[in-house]
Chain A
Amino acid sequence: MLLNWLDSSREGAGRRYVEIRRRLVQFFVCRGCHESEQMADLTIDRVAQKVPRIAEGYSGDPALYFYGVARKVHMEYMRKQRSTPAVPPPLDENSGEDDEQYTCLERCMEVLTLDNRLLVLKYYQDDRQLKIDHRRELARHLDIGMNALRLRVFRIRAALQECVLNCLKNGLARNVSPDNVIA
């Protein structure tokens, strides 16, 4: 029922669901919630329960309905926080996980296409003014604008991070799949 409400086609509905979930997670992250993924899922569950009643009479972008429900979920979270505040763990600057993460990143980098690998390396090398000059040169070389370059690298980086997280979950890069990265 929920998917039908989001889009008439199955594929379109799936895409829309993933997109809205990403936005919900980011909404809760921005509001400083420690369990943003669970809260996003809780929001979706609540909307799914209400869809049979509201779908027919609702007009406009369904994403905004999710936003309204997410705000209520967050208010409940805040009330709960006031009685039992969640303390964030201390910042662990040098944990043993770093080496595992590095190994995973090495393997995820290998799965990238050569062009994307070189792009990431060049984009992040050097510091300050040298870095800015370098990026300008890179954009000129690729014949794209600076913002397009920024977006391109952001997407590769996001895919790399997802690949590294999967790698860590599955235990030291045993299952680094090209599906996890932009090839």
Chain B
Amino acid sequence: MLEERLFTSPDYLDEMLMCEDELIDSYIGGSLSPEEMEAFQSHFLLTPERRQKLKFARTLKRYVAASAAAEAPAREAELAQEKEVTREKEAGWLAAFVGRLMRPAYYAPLAAALLLLVAYGSWQLAVGWRQQRHRTALEAELSELNREQTEGAPSAPGLAAFTLTPGLVRGAGGSAELTLAGDTRTIRLRLDLPSDDFQTYQALLQTGADDTGVAVKGLRASGQGNSRAVVLNLPAALLPDGEYRLALRGTPEGGAAEDVATYNFRVRRS
């Protein structure tokens, strides 16, 4: 019998009182069904002891709520700090640095830095675009100059012709140079080939300062027997006085381009 256990079991009374406390808390918390509420009020709350417990439970609930509300801002700050530490740990130093930059104190310097970045980027884009346009125009001009290649002696006015062998400049003595007359408008280079193994060739002229160079594509070899060469016409204006390096690459039919030979020379105006 349950009542008898109240007198014989050492823990039974505490267990019963705990259950009563929990029942009262459920009543206050509104988690009892309407039927349970009715039974609670008409049977459970008959005694003054239980009414006093109910009153105490209400006061305790009020006290806990007030304490939680008073501590809420501090707890929120603590939670925010905990979250930030966790985020920093998870995302690493870079993300933490970016996270710090997102604070209001950094808004103005960050906006200024962004503006500078945007201005610099725009300027770089404009410069790049101008260079690209210039290169496209130049390559179109070179393509036009080399559309009909002739190996014959220069006869047109303003045309200066030279023959280059791989790695060497054919010239007087050891001085490797192409001397141009003042009225030279076009330079014709005859690039001797070690062997003619490719269907088309591509010449890449590196003009010193600009390492990207200028490319002339679709060149073909000409000549007879072992004397095969690629003829390359260049506008004299493209080659101010100075050192140059010209790389020749060959492309087999349906294959990838390969290095063929390199020609070094110096330009000087007389």
Q: Are B47 and A64 in contact (CB under 8 A)?
A: no
* Residues of A with C-beta under 8 A to B62: 102
Partner pick for B60 among A28, A151, A157, CB 8 A cutoff? A157
Partner pick for A91 among B4, B18, B47, B51, CB 8 A cutoff? B51
* Residues of A with C-beta under 8 A to B43: 32
* Residues of A with C-beta under 8 A to B4: 64, 67
How would residues 1 to 27 of chain B score, 1 for a CB under 8 Å from any chain A CB and 0 otherwise? Answer: 001101110000110111001000100
Select from chain A the residue with minimum beta-carbon distance to B52: A165
How would residues 28 to 59 of chain A score, 1 for a CB under 8 Å from any chain B CB and 0 otherwise? Answer: 11101110110000000000000000000000
In this assembly, does A160 line the interface, its C-beta being within 8 Å of a C-beta of chain B? Answer: yes
Q: Are A64 and B59 in contact (CB under 8 A)?
A: no
Chain B, range 39-64, C-beta contacts under 8 Å to A: 41, 43, 45-53, 55-56, 58-64
How would residues 157 to 174 of chain A score, 1 for a CB under 8 Å from any chain B CB and 0 otherwise? Answer: 110110011000000000
Select from chain B the residue with minimum beta-carbon distance to A104: B59
- The interface size bin for chain A is 35 or more
Select from chain B the residue with minimum beta-carbon distance to A168: B52
Chain A, range 128-148, C-beta contacts under 8 Å to B: 128
Select from chain B the residue with minimum beta-carbon distance to A61: B8
In this assembly, does A23 line the interface, its C-beta being within 8 Å of a C-beta of chain B? Answer: yes
In this assembly, does B212 line the interface, its C-beta being within 8 Å of a C-beta of chain A? Answer: no
Q: Are B7 and A67 in contact (CB under 8 A)?
A: yes
Q: Are A161 and B53 in contact (CB under 8 A)?
A: yes
Q: Are A30 and B3 in contact (CB under 8 A)?
A: yes
Taking the closest CB of chain B, its distance from the CB of A166, in whole angstroms, is 12
- Chain B residues with a Cβ closer than 8 Å to the other chain, count: 36
* Residues of B with C-beta under 8 A to A97: 55
Q: Are A29 and B49 in contact (CB under 8 A)?
A: yes
- Asked whether A98 and B14 contact (CB < 8 A) given A61-B8, A127-B29, the answer is no
Partner pick for B64 among A37, A88, A125, CB 8 A cutoff? A125
- Asked whether A64 and B49 contact (CB < 8 A) given A101-B59, A127-B29, the answer is no
- Asked whether A88 and B63 contact (CB < 8 A) given A27-B3, A150-B18, the answer is no
Partner pick for B7 among A61, A91, A101, CB 8 A cutoff? A61
In this assembly, does A26 line the interface, its C-beta being within 8 Å of a C-beta of chain B? Answer: yes
Chain B, range 118-150, C-beta contacts under 8 Å to A: none
Partner pick for A101 among B31, B47, B51, B55, CB 8 A cutoff? B55
Partner pick for A36 among B3, B8, B49, B64, CB 8 A cutoff? B49
Taking the closest CB of chain A, its distance from the CB of B61, in whole angstroms, is 7
- Asked whether A32 and B17 contact (CB < 8 A) given A61-B7, A98-B55, A121-B68, the answer is no
Q: Are B17 and A154 in contact (CB under 8 A)?
A: yes
In this assembly, does B67 line the interface, its C-beta being within 8 Å of a C-beta of chain A? Answer: yes
Q: A120 to B68, alpha carbons, bound, how many Å?
A: 12
Q: Are B16 and A124 in contact (CB under 8 A)?
A: no
Nearest first, the 5 A-B pairs at minimum CB distance are: A63-B7, A67-B7, A124-B64, A32-B46, A154-B18
Q: Which residues of A contact B (CB under 8 A)?
A: 20, 22-23, 25-30, 32-34, 36-37, 61, 63-64, 66-67, 88, 91, 97-98, 101-102, 105-106, 109, 120-121, 124-125, 127-128, 150-151, 154, 157-158, 160-161, 164-165
Q: Which residues of B contact A (CB under 8 A)?
A: 3-4, 6-8, 13-14, 16-18, 21, 25, 29, 31, 41, 43, 45-53, 55-56, 58-64, 67-68
9 A-B pairs within 8 Å (CB atoms) are namely A23-B13, A25-B49, A27-B6, A33-B47, A34-B47, A64-B8, A67-B4, A154-B18, A164-B59
